[in-house]
Amino acid sequence: MQASGEILACGLDDPSRVCTTIYEWTGNGTVAGLSEWVIDRPVRVLLILCLAWFVNRIARRSIGVLSEGIRMQPSHPRLRALRALGPGGNDMNRAEADRAPARAEAIESVLKSLVSVVVFSVTILLVLGEFDINLAPLLAGAGVVGIAIGFGAQSVVGDFLSGTFMLLEDQYGIGDVIEVEGVTGEVENISLRTTKLRDLSGTVWHVPNGTIRKVGNHSQLWSNAVVDIGVSYESDLREAMQLMDDVADKYWQDTHVDGIVGDIIEDPVVLGVQELGDSAITLRLVVKTDPSAQWRVQRELRLRLKESFDDASIEIPYPQRTVHHRPAPS
């Protein structure tokens, strides 16, 4: 009789220890059955929640350690060593190190959110299972709904995947000036779905990540300031190129104050004659600069070159055209 009462109260298949113990103590099937709902299942749910919290915390802390590693070591040691051997290698490593915190923060945020969603989704399923809720119909229904949503929101899924790879590959970051989908502007915000740009006129553009097929970054690690200046055909080209080199070197020295590196990170280079035009010979100067500093350097160099050319009487010609006038035949 006691065995049959215990079976009725606690079940035949895998009865809980709490239910059987209470039944042995009280001999009351109702009290034993209630004990499973009042004591046993809440305790197991609490254990599941505590375990989920612990796993989530450990995973997020591990991601934080990984993120800190990205901040401290922005690239592979061998790659940094190879870069240091080349011209401006130390400056490139410094520029990459400056980008590392922003990149690490973005990756850390995305991974932590993803881990939390996965952990607590599994936790909800385990908790529902503790209350004898049949999960098969729920999973089947969720699968059907997921397929329907997947067909209807393929572009959104594509945006999320593209945003994830964009962050992991560090294609661009907040503050970079990029050119994408015919728009050039400064990146103000990056999410997994969209990138927000502000162009020179102040217009804010929201570009879905899934539509980005190619992107040009004007300010990643370093930039080049390219200055083309035209001189007349009567000018001494070697004198003009030497003057350009002197002006650029003087500007470079002016930006390095008390050992602090300025906008220019390498010795400027005068490439020479770029074009033989209709009315002028174009000379080209290239200066390696900090990210996003190329436009500021270009404007200052053009000003200094114009002043120096005027002092040296080197003509920057206007467009000219020779017109031959022939009298009409008599």
Higher-pLDDT residue of 212, 169: 212
Q: Which CATH class is domain 171-217?
A: mainly beta
Half-sphere exposure of 325 (CA within 13 A, CB side): 1
Position 69 pLDDT exceeds 80: no
Instruction: Please give the structure tokens belonging to residue 196.
Output: 């927000």
Could you state, in order of their start, the residue ranges of all structural domains in the chain?
Answer: 39-133, 171-217, 223-311
Q: What pLDDT is recorded for position 316?
A: 86
Higher-pLDDT residue of 83, 56: 56
* Domains 171-217 and 223-311 are alike in CATH topology: no
Residue 274 pLDDT class (50, 70, 90 cuts): very high
Lowest mean pLDDT among 51-55, 80-84, 218-222, 308-312: 80-84
Mean pLDDT of the chain: 75
Q: What pLDDT is recorded for position 73?
A: 54
Residue 182 pLDDT class (50, 70, 90 cuts): confident
Nearest to 162 by CA among 192, 195, 205: 192
Kindly tell me the burial class for residue 142, based on how many C-beta atoms sit within 10 Å of its own C-beta (0-12, 13-18, 19 or more): exposed
Q: What pLDDT is recorded for position 147?
A: 65
Position 239 pLDDT exceeds 90: yes
Residue 92 pLDDT class (50, 70, 90 cuts): very low
Instruction: Please give the structure tokens belonging to residue 232.
Output: 């007349």
Q: What pLDDT is recorded for position 322?
A: 72
Average pLDDT for 203-220: 86
Q: What is the pLDDT of residues 134-151, one digit of tens each?
A: 766 766 666 666 665 566
Q: What pLDDT is recorded for position 320?
A: 64
For tokens 């970079």, what's the residue? 176
Position 22 pLDDT exceeds 60: no
Q: What is the pTM of this model?
A: 0.56
**CATH assignment of 223-311, among 3.40.50.1000, 3.30.390.30, 3.30.70.100, 1.10.10.10:** 3.30.70.100
Using CA of residue 57, residue 59, residue 61, residue 63, what is the dihedral sign?
negative
Whether residue 281 contacts residue 273, with contact meaning beta carbons closer than 8 Å, is answered with yes
Listing DSSP states for 221-289 in one string gives S-EEEEEEEEE-TTS-HHHHHHHHHHHHHHHHHHH-BTTB--SB-S--EEEEEEEE-SS-EEEEEEEEE
The CA–CA distances, whole Å, from 277 to 226, 231, 237, 280 equal: 18, 10, 14, 5
Instruction: Please give the structure tokens belonging to residue 26.
Output: 């009280």
Distance CA 176, CA 158 (A): 23
Position 168 pLDDT exceeds 60: yes
Higher-pLDDT residue of 234, 7: 234
183-190 β-sheet, strand order: 204-208, 194-198, 183-190, 177-180, 215-217
Query: Amino acid identity of 256?
Result: H
Q: How far is CA 198 from the centre of its chain?
A: 16
The CA–CA distances, whole Å, from 137 to 70, 117, 128, 144 equal: 43, 21, 13, 10
Q: What pLDDT is recorded for position 291?
A: 82
